[in-house]
Structure 1
């Protein structure tokens, strides 16, 4: 059974998201090591959400409730005084609804900026981190990989990508009112990740020419050469020369000590956990825009036709395939057993390779139509009828999984 606990910008305070996102790197490993019923775990922490995706053993008594408590217990420390508020606001999702949610998240339909471009990459990087940590599972792999396909289909069909939606662009829209001429404004990027690359494109679209980059990991020179901007080696000096600073890193926190006094500057924090200490807002001349403020201005634009329907259909097809898989495997196994026996008889009688090939092709043709019907019945909620037919006609007993019937559970 798949399970997800989500805390996001709609139901959880940004300060709480900031604190719990700091344990994202270790949570998946902690969950799989501590709880034997957790087969796999992938943790997604982005600029406006924290989510733990789990595969649970079946049957697990009170599965969704037990999993919810397991995750929240581990978040209690970083949540601190807000632990009870987090328990009340976090949402639990179980069974087939997890796939619908994951596909929507990956496609940007659940983002602060609906249709944002960066989220799909963040979802896949979360899967990559779980692979490296050894915490993913076959079911989670399938779901996350298909989420990428669903995102591509939605963007290609609904034309969401053409709108160029991202938090960086929303932030720069807010900065427009403070800038007379982008061509003369020195801009500093702190970080060299995907957000930084997106931000450069958004800056150049506005006419910015003086763009610089600083990286605490030493990648500034290589990044600057790739994008044709200037690399900086000292953070304080670089901020001192900038009128606008955008932070796009998960590895560094800008503090008051990094901010020279003496000029007005706008600092935009696009990170979660926070890239800029909130106390920076008290430095003379500094205006700080963080995710909470940016989120208030993130309008919900209309998407291309059918975006939600495309993602919903993709999730339904995936769930139908997964639900029907045991019946399909059982049927194919039954056909394969008969095929193997018939091929052996052909060989015993001196049959040739062409006859064997013809038999294998016939077996494939025979199994095709029932495979399609199994998925159709699963999508219609009638899979039990197909399974009953297999048992009646061929004596094939299909393992019945309770996980296929679980629906979403909301906390509260």
Structure 2
């Protein structure tokens, strides 16, 4: 059974999201390895949302939710009661539609943003690396990525330049008279930093410098043609615009050694800039919370088209999943018969070529029924396929409960 615990910028404070982003992803490994109720977990923590996708046994779903809340609470320092009240619980089909919408940028501060699909992909890669993914979560996340590509290709949301970075620069533009004369310091060298460089150059900025708290600044500067700053305070003193996008607190008030007028944009979560900086003379601070309040209204037609595509993709995924037990049962039956025939063929001296031909024939014979099963499922007739293979072959597909697709009385927060 698929579950999702979700909190985002619309229903949770940025302070809570910040704490979760720091500790929650590291908690997934222990959550799965130490808890028999949970078969898999993928945690997505971004600047404006927290998501924990779980693959659990349907009969113990409530216990799995409690265990996840306890684990994420301990790892992030968020009170368990506060966390449970902040997250929304999604189950079954709702999980599919939600992830597809998230990955396509439909739930972001900037609708259709570019970065989220990569963040979703990296969250799955992290789950693989720490051993917390599962076959159901793999299929779900891979299909979500495919859906995101389809939305970008098939709707106006696929236009270039949708990102939190670009929204922040648009907000800062009213204070910056000439981008070509603006001295910019970027703190950080990750994907957001690369996006920031591209967005700044699109606006005409040419004096770009980079400082890296992690020591990766030299390679980043060489790759993107930037000037390297080796001392943060010196870089801040020389900059008109400071943009931070790293993984930890990087800038406090001590870095500002004069009262020069500056714009500071903090894109980090956890936050990179001490909020006290915003009270310094001459400094204007834009952080994620401020930026989110000024997010543009989504283009209604584009978003509507995109949601229709996401809905169709989610329905196909759910339908295909509903007949998967029957397809698996049929494949198991056919290959059991095939193994017996291959054994007899070997006893009669059949060549490897003959055995390979038999295996190929079995696969060909299975292809048509598998395709038809998914077509019937999309028409709401998947049960006819299940009944058919039971009647013709005498094989029984696993029940929804055995595959963990039932939803035993769970309710969203």
Considering the TM-score relative to the shorter chain, is it more than 0.5?
Answer: yes
- The answer to whether residue 328 in structure 2 is matched with residue 299 in structure 1 is no
Q: Deviations over 1:362-406 (max 9, x none)?
A: 544432332122223333444333222222222101111233344
Helix, strand or coil at the partner of 2:185 = strand
CA separation of 1:360/1:238 partners in 2, compared to 1, >3 Å: closer, same or farther?
same
Helix, strand or coil at the partner of 2:228 = strand
Aligned-partner Cα distance in 2 for 1:137–1:407: 21
Give yes or no for contact 2:182–2:205 (8 Å, CA) kept in 1: yes
- The answer to whether residue 186 in structure 2 is matched with residue 208 in structure 1 is no
Aligned-partner Cα distance in 1 for 2:379–2:13: 39
Q: Deviations over 1:107-147 (max 9, x none)?
A: 11111101100111111111222222222222222222222
> More deviation in 188-197 or 18-27?
18-27
CA separation of 1:341/1:32 partners in 2, compared to 1, >3 Å: closer, same or farther?
closer
- Where does the alignment leave 5 or more consecutive residues of structure 1 unmatched? none
Helix, strand or coil at the partner of 1:23 = helix
- The answer to whether residue 234 in structure 2 is matched with residue 237 in structure 1 is yes
2:385 corresponds to: 386
Shift of 1:347: 6.7
- The aligned runs of 1:106-145 (5 Å cut-off) are 106-145=103-142
CA separation of 1:321/1:9 partners in 2, compared to 1, >3 Å: closer, same or farther?
same
- The answer to whether residue 271 in structure 2 is matched with residue 274 in structure 1 is yes
Helix, strand or coil at the partner of 2:7 = strand
- The aligned runs of 1:73-152 (5 Å cut-off) are 73-76=70-73, 84-152=81-149
CA separation of 1:275/1:118 partners in 2, compared to 1, >3 Å: closer, same or farther?
same
Give yes or no for contact 1:117–1:166 (8 Å, CA) kept in 2: yes
State the TM-score, normalizing by the size of structure 1. 0.90
Shift of 1:295: 0.6
CA separation of 1:305/1:401 partners in 2, compared to 1, >3 Å: closer, same or farther?
closer
Aligned-partner Cα distance in 2 for 1:30–1:259: 41
Helix, strand or coil at the partner of 1:60 = helix
Give yes or no for contact 1:158–1:305 (8 Å, CA) kept in 2: no
Helix, strand or coil at the partner of 1:236 = helix
RMSD of aligned residue pairs (Cα, Å): 2.6
State the TM-score, normalizing by the size of structure 2. 0.90
Shift of 1:351: 7.4
> More deviation in 303-312 or 392-401?
303-312
Helix, strand or coil at the partner of 1:10 = coil
Aligned-partner Cα distance in 1 for 2:374–2:287: 46
CA separation of 1:386/1:215 partners in 2, compared to 1, >3 Å: closer, same or farther?
same
Shift of 1:245: 0.7
CA separation of 1:304/1:76 partners in 2, compared to 1, >3 Å: closer, same or farther?
closer
1:186 corresponds to: 183
> More deviation in 172-181 or 155-164?
155-164
2:371 corresponds to: 372
- The aligned runs of 1:56-75 (5 Å cut-off) are 56=56, 58-61=57-60, 63=61, 65-75=62-72
- Where does the alignment leave 5 or more consecutive residues of structure 2 unmatched? none
Q: Deviations over 1:218-244 (max 9, x none)?
A: 111111111111111111111111111
Helix, strand or coil at the partner of 2:405 = helix
CA separation of 1:34/1:358 partners in 2, compared to 1, >3 Å: closer, same or farther?
closer
- The aligned runs of 1:257-406 (5 Å cut-off) are 257-302=254-299, 303=302, 306-342=305-341, 362-402=361-401, 403-406=404-407
Shift of 1:206: 1.0
CA separation of 1:360/1:128 partners in 2, compared to 1, >3 Å: closer, same or farther?
closer
Aligned-partner Cα distance in 2 for 1:408–1:313: 26
Shift of 1:178: 0.2
CA separation of 1:48/1:244 partners in 2, compared to 1, >3 Å: closer, same or farther?
same
Q: Deviations over 1:139-185 (max 9, x none)?
A: 22222222222211221222423241000000000001001111111
> More deviation in 6-15 or 400-409?
400-409
Aligned-partner Cα distance in 1 for 2:99–2:304: 20
